[in-house]
Amino acid sequence: MRNLYPLSTGQAAIREIARAMEDETGNQPPLPGIFPGQMAPVVRNTNEGRKLSLLRWGMPSPAFALNGRKVDHGFTKVRNTISSHWRR
């Protein structure tokens, strides 16, 4: 998985493809790069329906990776998909 993703698709196309019923992103310009720790548009399911929202890009680190650290900067590469970290 790459760490850099460009976003050139417009909001209307994202809403249509994802069937998002609500858009919370405001006037979202194209993004030449989406980097870990930065905000990016994400479609999420809520009780009110599908919403397009701005969320921080990346995944939370597993507990063993936080050993002695006060801040979780997250990560973007998932190698062990059978880890208990990914189970609910």
Q: What is the pLDDT along the chain (88 residues), one digit of tens a residue?
A: 455 678 888 888 888 999 989 999 988 888 888 887 788 898 999 999 999 999 888 778 888 888 888 888 777 777 777 887 777 6
Which secondary structure element, helix H or strand E, spans residue 14, and what is its range? helix 11-18
What does pTM read for this prediction?
A: 0.65
> Hey, what are 66's tokens?
């936080």
In our burial notation (b when 16+ CB lie closer than 10 A, e otherwise), range 33-53 reads ebebeeebbeeeeeeeeebbb
